[in-house]
A and B are shown apart, each in its own frame.
Chain A
Amino acid sequence: MGKFFIAAGLALALAFGGIVNDAAASSGKSAPSQEWTFDGVFGNYDRAQLKRGYQVYQEVCAACHSLRQIYYRNLSEIGFSADEVKKIAAEFEVPRGPDDEGETHDDGEEIMRPAKPFDKMVQPYPNEQAARSANNGALPPDLSLVTKARKGGANYLHALLTGFSEAPEGFKLQDGMSYNVYFPGAQIAMAPPIDDDAVEYADGTKASKDQISRDIAAFLTWAAEPELEQRKRIGIKVMIFLLIFTAMLYAVKRRVWAKLH
């Protein structure tokens, strides 16, 4: 009787193994793994890369994509000085708000002031409708959490940005869409945003398409997980403590139980 059930269990397991590869094709090709400085237990962000990534975001992505969880003050964490952060913020304008008389508008125009480090990053569109109408009906997603909100994270972003190609014969591409195997359904409303030398890096790094994609993926990983370095540093200390402490607890346990035998 027991043998019969083992056989039945095996049959079930085999049938089940056979379907593992049937995974849905519509979810997009999975992105190849890249090397990142923030990978692994000892991972760290490369500040120079994050700064380049910020430049890419500002010059390329920010025209359509918001970064609404990030404040200008956060940029000091990737290596900008306090003065530089102030200067960056001042390039943008935010509503001034009511003055002492309660005025917010002057002649029907909203009164603006330069942004300060404590302001959230200014978004490209005032609302979803404006974003959609400017983008052929598509909504460019907010990027502050994008590496956590997509399977594959930074690998996915890098693959997506470098993965545009001609649609294969017979593939029906809708108007205004681009072909990208890494995107679910392979049709994406974003036109290829990056080419070689799409930006001119302040630090002189050669701006190949691959390099730009890497830098923006790293920057957006930081935007999604600004705590990553602190988390891993504390994690290592906690693990060392726990390993030693647990070894001691094991010794205590052995010693206590030794009395029994």
Chain B
Amino acid sequence: MSENTREFKNPVINWIEYRLPIFSFIDDSVGSNYPSPRNLNYWWNFGSLAGVTLVIMIATGIFLAMNYTAHVDMAFDSVERIMRDVNYGWLMRYVHMNGGTMFFMAVYIHIFRGMYYGSYKEPRELLWIIGIIIFLAMMATAFVGYVLPWGQMSFWGATVITNLFSVIPFFGENIVQWLWGGFSVDNPTLNRFYSFHFLLPFVIFALVFLHLWALHQHKSNNPTGVEIKGDADTIPFHPYYTAKDAFGLGVFLIFFLGFTFFAPNFFGEPENYIEANPLVTPAEIVPEWYFLPYYAILRAVPDNFIDAWGILPVIITAKEAGVILMFASIIALAFLPWLDTSKVRSARFRPIYKQLFWIFVADTFVLGYIGAHPPEGHFLLIGRIATAYYFFHLLILLPLLGKYEKTRPLPESIAASVTNAGPEEGQ
């Protein structure tokens, strides 16, 4: 056998391996030949959970696509047909619907974990940035997907969000009409959104491969944030983390399917069970929960274009500012590796950062709460304070903190941290 292939017991596998070394590739990627830090806690489960959820979304989505009709006159009823007359159509649809929520939950926890343990720091900056791109692709996929059932929120959500592009200087209006394929959200819009909704998950899939490729270059970060220094610091991915991930998946599925079977509409908006009607604006236009913090930032700017009752846009500078802030809130995350100037990765050894981290988490929850309410009175004021704090944390606090914070001494190595510190969390 040549150098980069390996000897297996099964002759068929050896025959394939000699010609296409896929088995050693798997073994090197998620098998016994991939060394992982020995101290990863359960917060490290959420990457694989997000990956599994992506596969579940694609699998259920394929079956839904077989029965869905992308036409403004038929879309709503075709979804109801899936719910009522297609064998187990309700199951596919409810799993897909709740899967979106679970995907975002897993990814949000995954992102916060990266922030807490400083996983984005050198040399994992690209790994982090690819992750942010995956997150953006997920948001686009979720947005176009939500339009497909053609309920009231589908239609009005699409109207509000596509209108954001009208802030682009000079060409804004043209771009919005180009996106719509007409002069309002209508049948051509629904058709292209369906096409995008089918395409984007496969783009995400490809990005996930890049994400893993970059991960395997320098291996996982770990709760100490100290790099792997020798064999004593690592254990093979299989069987240790395959077993741990499998258990985590079991717990996750209980949560996921618990909602799917017993409260499938818990995360949904009742209004979306009313068919889209361009002549009737809902009392409040609210996105799905996972977009609420961004929606709050969008509406935090004074005199925003979406007033309390969702009257259609009037171009004003405040609208542009809201849109720019909303996109900036995500783009800023991509710059975290440089905004966070501390040499120490893990919040375990950064006493002040640890507190700031939790305040930042609380701030995003406040933004989420504010996003669900009309931007008036107290809601608007608190939304503005929370928005300001979001950027204050990322753009001011983090760069300064790295320079002035007194960090705790780091352990010699991962192995040392495990043996000296008694029982380590999460093992």
The reply to whether the CB of B244 lies closer than 8 angstroms to some CB of chain A is: yes
A22 touches B377 (CB 8 A): yes
Q: Contacting chain A: which of B22-30, B134-142, B262-270, B322-330?
A: B262-270
Measured in the bound complex, the distance between the Cα atoms of B262 and A253 in whole Å is 29
Q: Which residue of A lies closest to B370 (CB)?
A: A16
B90 touches A242 (CB 8 A): no
The reply to whether the CB of B70 lies closer than 8 angstroms to some CB of chain A is: no
The reply to whether the CB of B206 lies closer than 8 angstroms to some CB of chain A is: no
Measured in the bound complex, the distance between the Cα atoms of B260 and A12 in whole Å is 34
Report the minimum CB–CB distance from B231 to chain A (whole Å). 13
Given known contacts A253-B246, A256-B239, A19 and B379 CB-to-CB distance under 8 angstroms: yes
B273 touches A149 (CB 8 A): yes
Measured in the bound complex, the distance between the Cα atoms of B370 and A22 in whole Å is 12
What residues of B have a CB within 8 angstroms of the CB of A171 in the complex?
none
What residues of A have a CB within 8 angstroms of the CB of B94 in the complex?
231
Given known contacts A19-B379, A69-B84, A257 and B271 CB-to-CB distance under 8 angstroms: no
The reply to whether the CB of B34 lies closer than 8 angstroms to some CB of chain A is: no
Given known contacts A16-B382, A231-B261, A150 and B270 CB-to-CB distance under 8 angstroms: yes
Report the minimum CB–CB distance from B310 to chain A (whole Å). 14
Residue from B80, B246, B351, B362 within 8 A of A252 (CB atoms)? B246
Measured in the bound complex, the distance between the Cα atoms of B244 and A249 in whole Å is 8
Report the minimum CB–CB distance from B150 to chain A (whole Å). 13
Name which of A13, A74, A253 has the most chain B CB atoms within 10 A of its CB: A253
- Please report the total number of B residues contacting A with Cβ < 8 Å: 51
Residue from A2, A5, A141, A249 within 8 A of B246 (CB atoms)? A249
The reply to whether the CB of A32 lies closer than 8 angstroms to some CB of chain B is: no
Name which of A2, A141, A151 has the most chain B CB atoms within 10 A of its CB: A2
The reply to whether the CB of B64 lies closer than 8 angstroms to some CB of chain A is: no
A16 touches B261 (CB 8 A): no
Report the minimum CB–CB distance from A233 to chain B (whole Å). 9
Given known contacts A149-B274, A227-B83, A12 and B257 CB-to-CB distance under 8 angstroms: no
A2 touches B352 (CB 8 A): yes
B270 touches A148 (CB 8 A): yes
A238 touches B257 (CB 8 A): yes
- Please report the total number of A residues contacting B with Cβ < 8 Å: 47
Q: Per-residue CB proximity of B75-88 to A under 8 Å, as 1/0?
A: 00100100110000
What residues of A have a CB within 8 angstroms of the CB of B389 in the complex?
12
Report the minimum CB–CB distance from B52 to chain A (whole Å). 14
The reply to whether the CB of A184 lies closer than 8 angstroms to some CB of chain B is: yes
What residues of A have a CB within 8 angstroms of the CB of B283 in the complex?
26-27, 184
Q: Which residue of A lies closest to B351 (CB)?
A: A2
Measured in the bound complex, the distance between the Cα atoms of B257 and A141 in whole Å is 32
Residue from B244, B270, B377, B386 within 8 A of A253 (CB atoms)? B244
Q: Which residue of B lies closest to A243 (CB)?
A: B254
Measured in the bound complex, the distance between the Cα atoms of B353 and A3 in whole Å is 12
What residues of A have a CB within 8 angstroms of the CB of B247 in the complex?
246, 249-250, 252-253
Measured in the bound complex, the distance between the Cα atoms of B374 and A19 in whole Å is 13
Report the minimum CB–CB distance from A213 to chain B (whole Å). 20
Q: Per-residue CB proximity of B263-289 to A under 8 Å, as 1/0?
A: 011000011011000000001000000
Majority DSSP secondary structure for residues of B touching A = helix
Q: Per-residue CB proximity of A178-190 to B under 8 Å, as 1/0?
A: 0000001000000
Report the minimum CB–CB distance from A65 to chain B (whole Å). 14
Q: Per-residue CB proximity of A6-27 to B under 8 Å, as 1/0?
A: 1011001101101100101011
The reply to whether the CB of B359 lies closer than 8 angstroms to some CB of chain A is: yes
The reply to whether the CB of B349 lies closer than 8 angstroms to some CB of chain A is: no
A232 touches B262 (CB 8 A): yes
B261 touches A232 (CB 8 A): yes
Q: Which residue of B lies closest to A148 (CB)?
A: B273
B351 touches A260 (CB 8 A): no
Name which of A6, A184, A227 has the most chain B CB atoms within 10 A of its CB: A227
What residues of B have a CB within 8 angstroms of the CB of A141 in the complex?
274
What residues of B have a CB within 8 angstroms of the CB of A202 in the complex?
none
Residue from B38, B80, B240, B374 within 8 A of A24 (CB atoms)? B374
The reply to whether the CB of A125 lies closer than 8 angstroms to some CB of chain B is: no
B257 touches A8 (CB 8 A): no
Q: Per-residue CB proximity of B352-372 to A under 8 Å, as 1/0?
A: 100110110011001001000
What residues of A have a CB within 8 angstroms of the CB of B235 in the complex?
260
Residue from B90, B352, B374 within 8 A of A231 (CB atoms)? B90
Measured in the bound complex, the distance between the Cα atoms of B352 and A196 in whole Å is 67
Q: Which residue of A lies closest to B84 (CB)?
A: A226
- B224-251 contacts to A (CB < 8 Å): 235, 239-240, 243-244, 246-247, 249-251
What are 28 contact pairs spanning A and B, CB under 8 A? A2-B352, A2-B355, A9-B358, A13-B366, A15-B382, A18-B378, A19-B382, A22-B377, A22-B378, A69-B84, A145-B80, A145-B274, A148-B270, A231-B90, A235-B257, A235-B258, A235-B260, A235-B261, A242-B253, A242-B257, A245-B250, A246-B247, A246-B251, A249-B247, A249-B250, A256-B243, A257-B243, A260-B38
Question: Which 8 pairs of residues, A with B, have the shortest CB-CB distance?
Answer: A235-B261, A246-B250, A149-B273, A19-B378, A249-B247, A227-B90, A9-B359, A253-B243
Residues of B within 8 A of A (CB): 38, 77, 80, 83-84, 90-91, 94, 235, 239-240, 243-244, 246-247, 249-251, 253-254, 257-258, 260-262, 264-265, 270-271, 273-274, 283, 351-352, 355-356, 358-359, 362-363, 366, 369, 374, 377-379, 382, 385-386, 389, 427
Besides A145-B274, A239-B254, A257-B240, 19 more A-B contacts (Cβ < 8 Å) are A2-B356, A6-B355, A12-B386, A24-B374, A26-B283, A69-B77, A69-B84, A141-B274, A145-B80, A149-B271, A226-B84, A231-B94, A234-B261, A235-B258, A235-B261, A249-B247, A250-B247, A253-B243, A260-B38
